[in-house]
Amino acid sequence: MMLAQEIIRAKREGRALDEAQIRHFVRGLVDGSWSEGQVAALGMAVFLRGMGRDEAVALTRAMMDSGRVMAWPDMPGPVLDKHSSGGVGDKLSLMIAPMVAACGGYVPMIAGRGLGHTGGTVDKLEAIPGYTTTPAPADFDRIVRTLGCAIIGQTSDLAPADKRFYAVRDITATVESVPLITASILSKKLAAGLQGLAMDIKCGNGAFAATPEFGQELARSIVEVAGGAGLRTRALITDMNQVLGWEVGNALEVRGAIDYLTGRTPREARTHELTLALCAEMLVLGGLAPDTAAARVKLQAALDSGAAADRFARMVAALGGPADLLERPEAYLTAAPVVRPIPAPRAGRVVGMNTRDIGLVIVELGGGRRLPGDALDMRVGLDRFIQLGDLVAAGDPIAVVHAADEAAAERAIAQVSGAVVIDDAAAPWESAPLVMAEVG
């Protein structure tokens, strides 16, 4: 007979857990036979003692097997996905799924909600009236098969062990453990029945991985554990020391994604570069292109022809959203009542941003959650955000705030002004690379 306290003791003493012990723990997460205190104790033991690759693979597979595991038999193309570790202004999933679908991939994207200062793909999509992020499994299957992509929310029957373990880790200061983050992300991705995964590991002052070293460690862990569990994965470590793109906030980011897909406005350079880089990895993983250069040509053609925008429009309609969202976004994406420019406090060059603080401004405005059950104000946020390296005159707008009332707008103006660093225009400036490293 296996005892929870003996498994905790083994890990506390730094011993490797075997598959039977790990499966006992994961069963206990789901059926409640491990108490909250025991789950917390093992989480802390792993946090302090770590896990070897074999242990992390076993934990990932056991958590994957704790619920429904999807299968995609008879698919005419590869089943692919992308996952981001979370950033500020990161709306890329909204463009990536339809772009890869337009190039022959099948993307069953099961996305998350906002966490802390980072926005969530599911929240963004719920800014579209009628869009359902919880379709019946048969509808999800049909939409992915017919359109090539569907973006929905986390379902309770996929990796249910992860949901309980994460909730305990969240309140016991054990979230930042590389093997536990790895198992949390990959158990859900493996349960979705994927054949290839592109990971975007954000790194910098707006990211969970604050340092390049932590980013590298997490990327290597995810690529190796995924490989050990039978899922081909590539990871890009990407810069999150500034807001990604021009918009932050739910409805504003949907509008930004529509503008990007349709090409109605010029595409913001960093957003375009990272979208192409991640999509290209997915096409190569799926055998849809021989290399990333060829993949980029296919992807650009899918944008230029309107094929990617068409997939997005059809996905929105299939999931209950308006059929003419792309033609008339302003009719559906509600505007905030107060829209105010944020003036630059001085002339010069933008040389820094406290990206995490900018993400928290969205929470303060009501566009992010303080508590898990909070309702969101989809209208609020920031757009026309200045980018690092840009030159400004005193009083020029560094961003535009969209707020529910004047008082909230005033607070946001003060907070954003304090989070953007402007130096003399003549100061030497060199932009950081967007993709810092590739792993896998």
How far does the chain reach from its first CA to its final CA, in angstroms?
40
Asked if 253 contacts 74 with a C-beta cutoff of 8 angstroms, the reply is: no
Check if 84 is active-site. yes
Q: Name the residue among 34, 305, 258, 286 with its Cα closest to residue 161.
A: 34
Which one of the listed residues 23, 188, 270, 402 is annotated catalytic? Answer: 188
Check if 169 is active-site. yes
Amino acid occupying residue 334: T
Half-sphere exposure of 340 (CA within 13 A, CB side): 17
Which one of the listed residues 61, 81, 90, 310 is annotated catalytic? Answer: 81
Which one of the listed residues 124, 189, 234, 314 is annotated catalytic? Answer: 189
CA 397/CA 399 separation, integer angstroms: 5
Which one of the listed residues 61, 83, 267, 402 is annotated catalytic? Answer: 83
Asked if 420 contacts 343 with a C-beta cutoff of 8 angstroms, the reply is: no
Which one of the listed residues 66, 184, 238, 275 is annotated catalytic? Answer: 184
Which one of the listed residues 82, 267, 349, 379 is annotated catalytic? Answer: 82
Check if 156 is active-site. no
Task: Estimate to the nearest angstrom the gap between the alpha carbon of 324 and the chain centroid.
Answer: 26
314-319 long-range contacts, CB within 8 A, separation 24+: 314/147, 315/97, 315/98, 315/143, 315/147, 315/149, 315/150, 315/151, 316/128, 316/131, 318/143, 318/146, 318/147, 318/150, 319/131, 319/132, 319/133, 319/135, 319/143, 319/150, 319/152
Check if 298 is active-site. no
Which one of the listed residues 66, 93, 118, 121 is annotated catalytic? Answer: 121
Which one of the listed residues 84, 85, 133, 271 is annotated catalytic? Answer: 84
Check if 170 is active-site. no
Check if 402 is active-site. no
- Residues annotated as catalytic are 81-84, 121, 169, 184, 188-189
